[in-house]
Structure 1
Amino acid sequence: MTVTKIGYARCSTDKQDLTAQRQALCALGVSEDLIYTDHGLTGTNRARPGLDQALAAVREGDVLVVPKLDRLARSVPDARAIADQLEKKGVKLALGMSIYDPTDPMGKMFFNILATFAEFEADLIRLRTKEGMAIARAKGKLRGKQPKLSEKRQKELARMYATGDYSISDLAEVFAVSRPTIYRTLHRTGAKISP
């Protein structure tokens, strides 16, 4: 029986590139046409079409190859579920140059330790992101979504509405924004909105 190597690569954002992972998979013996990818999807998201295709492509005796475990999963339960799925199919998992044998107790333990570190790393990234956003918010650099109209234009809109000469639809057309934006602006300025 010939062993087929199926590759899987993933990057979290559209700004990242899969080239290095593809090259690593090819260097590990995976044919270019047997590499499945997910672009712009996080490892914490289990709904990944490329991963689903890779898991569907592997057969008993095959090897699923990923450059690093964090490309496959970012949580212990997810990594464990994928490993169990591979074990049921009789498929081995290669993490870079290391092959994980799900039937070997040492291999299982090593895999679980790596999965724990991948989850820990994902948690640290989330924590740093939250801390960074809190610092930016405190410095006034992160203000959330800004209104579509400047403060001056919001005041003008409220003034025009208060005259009673303009309907919500008229104002939406004059200011080139949607009706919901007009309502939000009037609400924000404290204007009384007539039914």
Structure 2
Amino acid sequence: MLDRQIHALNAAGCHRIYSDKKSGKNAEREELSKALDYAREGDTLVVPSLDRLGRSIQDLIAIVAGLRTRGIGFTSLHENLDTTTPGGRLVFHVFAALAEFIRELIVQGTSEGLDAARARGARLGRPPAMTPEQVQHARDLLSRPKNTVSSIAKLLGVSRNTIYKYVPELKGGRVALAEAEGATALPAPPAPSE
């Protein structure tokens, strides 16, 4: 396959040929990087087909747009696309517009889906690390002086930081926790009536 691609590039009159053995899906393509670095204003980068250049349409558009800003043309032999001609530029602009349109549809669809889920009362995002029952259990365990935050965290299968996050009054120490527990457990006595 590589021989056929090299033959097509030679037949097209290419003077310098770079060939990566890796798939176009790989981010690190050394030979493509070398070709892009070597190209100068007035040159034309030629590929056997579009899928040899970019991992996606967005990637392809970004590469070709970068070439265009540097005054470098682009040609794909299989698709008969040549950005050095007005027709080739038009086709490529249509590709870019379609890619942008698809991106906007995806963003819009995602946003509408999230809004619909919120309207149904769905909880979005990561689930809480501790249930209300676990928080209460942690508070009960913390009221006993022998229990350490580390041992309670291990028992509940969470980190020490999670215990501190879900029992914020613990940051003031066990005395503050006991006072907070006392304040929530015992309501204030009613005012005497005269």
TM class by shorter chain equals 0.5 to 0.7
* CA distance 1:179–1:106, shift in 2 (3 Å): same
1:2-29 Cα offsets, whole Å, 9 max, x none, are: 4449xxxxxxxxxxxxxxxxxxxxxxxx
Q: Which residue of 2 aligns with 1:148?
A: 129
Q: Distance in 2 between matches of 1:192 and 1:154?
A: 12
- Contact 1:74-1:119 within 8 A present in 2 as well: no
Q: d(CA) in 2 for partners of 1:150 and 1:61? A: 59
* Greater fraction of residues in helix: 2
Number of aligned positions between the proteins: 153
Please report the RMSD computed on the Cα atoms of aligned residues, expressed in angstroms: 3.7
Shift of 1:91: 4.7
**Counterparts in 2 of 1:1-195, with a 5 A limit?**
2-4=7-9, 33=21, 35-38=23-26, 48-49=27-28, 54-56=32-34, 62-63=46-47, 65-67=49-51, 71-73=56-58, 78=62, 80-84=64-68, 88=72, 91-93=74-76, 97-187=78-168, 191-195=169-173
Counterpart position of 2:14? none
- From the CA coordinates, give the structure whose radius of gyration is larger: 2
The one-letter amino acid of 2:58's match is: A
Uncovered stretches (5+) of structure 1, i.e. residues with no partner = 6-30, 39-47
Q: TM-score, normalised by structure 2?
A: 0.60
Cα distance change on mapping 1:93 and 1:55 into 2, 3 Å: farther
Q: What percentage of residue pairs aligned between the two structures are identical? A: 22
Distance in 2 separating the partners of 1:117 and 1:175: 51
TM-score scaled by length of structure 1: 0.60
The runs of at least 4 consecutive aligned structure 1 residues that moved more than 3 Å come to 1-5, 31-35, 52-62, 67-70, 162-165
Q: Does the 8 A contact of 1:64 with 1:91 survive in 2? A: no
Q: Do the aligned partners of 2:74 and 2:84 also contact (CA within 8 Å) in 1?
A: no
Q: Where do 5+ consecutive residues of structure 2 fail to align?
A: 1-5, 11-18, 174-194
- SS class of match (1:92): strand
Structure with higher strand content: 1
- CA distance in 1 between counterparts of 2:69 and 2:90 reads 17
